[in-house]
């Protein structure tokens, strides 16, 4: 079957500036998700017209090596040929049924056969929706209302989780977005990452009210804040001993650092888990899963209502399954581990050679470039990110972009390698990134 190429017939004199100007008249800030607006790096967002493998093409026709990869879903790269074939085939079968079909069954069977703590699974259409639903299940299962989250973790735009630490010591949260009422913020407690005592202080003060502790076991939304295994093990012990549930938000890490995400790598079994991003192979799919007794609280079996018109969309289901099958068959995790390790090492060598004070941290194919800490230590908490990091990133981002390397447009976003990032492409990228850093970060 042939895979049609994207439409490149539009006039070639269109520029990103023109399109952004028009976008500003129809969408808030000209975008449909905030980071896309380049607010934290400045300048006009680049409009892309097509993508292939590890590369993006802008409307101006400029080519970029892409380390954003749609913020993580595209573990095989853009338009992987095998996935593309399945997508085209599925579009010819149906777009949506709103009824039972075999495609979500196949994906759910494939996942539950490989991830023992996902005894039951429910598909939704985004990571946010998965988290929102998991919280509802946790509250229903425990008869408690409060959720404990960590400062430096993002869980989508769920109202009660758009909060920051309040002024008290016992973890009371304050709203972090207009439109989130104090009543919603009141449902949430905030504790610091990588701080066993800080967590215990907040937990102890509210332990009979806590339905669940939710954590990104690989916090990757405010930089990459690698956690100590003992800290995460502590969360498992404390929740189990006090009748609270442990929710692993693996929307980024699930099917990205290992099939079973961080839970598999750490050998920690959460009660509930949320997935998104890679699970849909680049289409809008999310899922929540976990213990059978908990998922059986969900409608139509149980009293927790949760539904979705386009849930388990066949195109997303089959794109997800094709992606995951190829990842397993081609041992993509092992290959990405080796490639990303080499990429990080070559970057670090380049930074050292040129006197650039940047550091590279990574977990599997997820990486983050950050301003070096004073003591060269690992950054595990939000508060440890060097103050000048965000400002330094601006010029660096634009220098990379100029030379044809596209990073996510914020210093607090991580980068992703996909299976399409070959060693040749990575060599080219290392050269360009080091040269860009030399221009913008070199200490005089």
Ligand X SMILES: *Cc1c(COP(=O)(O)O)cnc(C)c1O
Q: Which residues of the shown chain bind ligand X in the complex (CB under 6 A)?
A: 126-128, 131, 154-156, 216, 221, 249, 251-252, 276, 286
Closest distance of CB 127 from ligand X, Å: 2
Q: What is the DSSP string of 100-140?
A: --HHHHHHHHHHHHH-TT-SEEEEESSHHHHHHHHHHHHHH
Closest distance of CB 252 from ligand X, Å: 4
Q: Give Dmax (Cα) for the chain.
A: 66
Closest distance of CB 247 from ligand X, Å: 11
Among residues 85, 53, 51, 49, the alpha carbon closest in space to that of 418 is found at 53
Contact 402, 437 (CB under 8 A): no
194 or 216, CB closer to ligand X? 216
Closest distance of CB 162 from ligand X, Å: 12
* 249 tagged catalytic: yes
Compute CA 72 distance to the chain's CA centroid, rounded to the nearest angstrom: 6
29 or 404, CB closer to ligand X? 29
* 222 tagged catalytic: no
* 64 tagged catalytic: no
Q: Taking the CB of residue 232, how many other CB atoms lie within 10 A of it?
A: 21
Closest distance of CB 189 from ligand X, Å: 18
Looking at beta carbons, which residue is closest to ligand X? Answer: 127
Compute CA 24 distance to the chain's CA centroid, rounded to the nearest angstrom: 27
Catalytic choice (66, 80, 194, 249): 249
Q: Give the CA distances from residue 4 to residues 78, 174, 416, in Å, rounded to whole numbers and listed in that order.
A: 14, 50, 26
Return d(Cα 148, Cα 86) in angstroms, integer. Answer: 40
Catalytic choice (277, 288, 326, 359): 277
149 or 398, CB closer to ligand X? 149
165 or 252, CB closer to ligand X? 252
Closest distance of CB 284 from ligand X, Å: 7
Closest distance of CB 218 from ligand X, Å: 8
Closest distance of CB 135 from ligand X, Å: 12
Question: Which uninterrupted H or E stretch holds 234?
Answer: helix 229-241
Return d(Cα 345, Cα 352) in angstroms, integer. Answer: 10
What count of residues does the chain have? 444
Residue for token digits 């996902």?
118
Contact 392, 441 (CB under 8 A): yes
150 or 351, CB closer to ligand X? 150
Catalytic choice (64, 154, 406, 419): 154
- Alpha helices by DSSP H, listed for 255-408, are 261-266, 292-295, 314-329, 332-354, 389-402
Compute CA 429 distance to the chain's CA centroid, rounded to the nearest angstrom: 22
217 or 314, CB closer to ligand X? 217
279 or 304, CB closer to ligand X? 279
Q: Give the CA distances from residue 183 to residues 161, 178, 190, 306, in Å, rounded to whole numbers and listed in that order.
A: 12, 13, 15, 22
320 or 357, CB closer to ligand X? 320
Contact 119, 295 (CB under 8 A): yes
- Enzyme catalytic residues: 154, 249, 277
């Amino acid at each position: 079957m042939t895979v049609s190429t994207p439409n490149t017939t539009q006039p070639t004199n269109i520029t990103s500036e023109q399109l952004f100007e028009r976008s500003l008249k129809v969408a808030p800030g000209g975008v449909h998700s905030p980071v896309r607006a380049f607010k934290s790096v400045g300048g006009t967002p680049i409009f892309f017209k097509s993508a292939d493998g590890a590369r993006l093409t802008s409307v101006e026709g400029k080519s970029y090596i892409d380390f954003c990869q749609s913020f993580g879903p595209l573990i095989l790269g853009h338009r992987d040929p095998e996935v593309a074939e399945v997508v085209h085939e599925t579009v010819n079968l149906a777009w949506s049924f709103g009824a039972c079909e075999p495609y979500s069954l196949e994906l759910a069977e494939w996942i539950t056969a490989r991830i023992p703590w996902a005894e039951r699974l429910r598909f939704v259409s985004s990571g946010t929706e998965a988290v929102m639903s998991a919280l509802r299940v946790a509250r229903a299962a425990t008869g408690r209302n409060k959720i404990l989250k960590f400062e430096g973790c993002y869980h989508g735009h769920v109202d009660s989780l758009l909060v920051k630490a309040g002024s008290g010591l016992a973890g009371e949260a304050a709203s972090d977005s207009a439109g989130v009422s104090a009543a919603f913020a009141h449902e949430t407690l905030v504790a610091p990452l990588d701080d066993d005592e800080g967590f215990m202080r907040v937990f102890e003060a509210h332990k009979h009210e806590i339905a669940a502790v939710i954590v990104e076991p690989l916090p990757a939304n405010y930089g990459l804040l690698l956690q100590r295994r003992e800290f995460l093990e502590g969360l498992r012990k404390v929740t189990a001993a006090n009748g609270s549930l442990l929710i692993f938000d693996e929307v980024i890490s699930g099917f990205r650092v290992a099939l079973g995400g961080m839970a598999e790598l750490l050998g920690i079994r959460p009660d509930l888990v949320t997935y998104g991003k890679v699970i849909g192979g680049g289409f809008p799919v999310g899922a929540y899963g976990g213990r059978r007794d908990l998922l059986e609280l969900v409608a139509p079996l149980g009293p927790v209502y949760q539904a979705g018109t386009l849930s388990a969309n066949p195109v997303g289901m089959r794109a997800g399954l094709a992606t995951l099958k190829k990842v397993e068959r081609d041992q993509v995790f092992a290959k990405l581990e080796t490639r990303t390790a080499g990429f990080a090492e070559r970057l670090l060598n380049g930074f050292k050679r040129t006197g650039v004070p940047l550091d590279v941290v990574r977990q599997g194919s997820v990486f983050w470039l950050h301003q070096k800490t004073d003591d060269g230590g690992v950054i595990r908490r939000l508060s440890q990110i060097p103050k000048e990091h965000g400002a330094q990133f601006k010029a660096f981002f634009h220098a990379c972009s100029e030379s044809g390397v596209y990073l996510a447009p914020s210093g607090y976003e991580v980068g992703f390698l996909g299976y399409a990032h070959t060693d040749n492409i990575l060599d080219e990228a290392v050269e360009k990134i080091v040269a860009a850093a030399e221009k913008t970060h070199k200490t005089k």
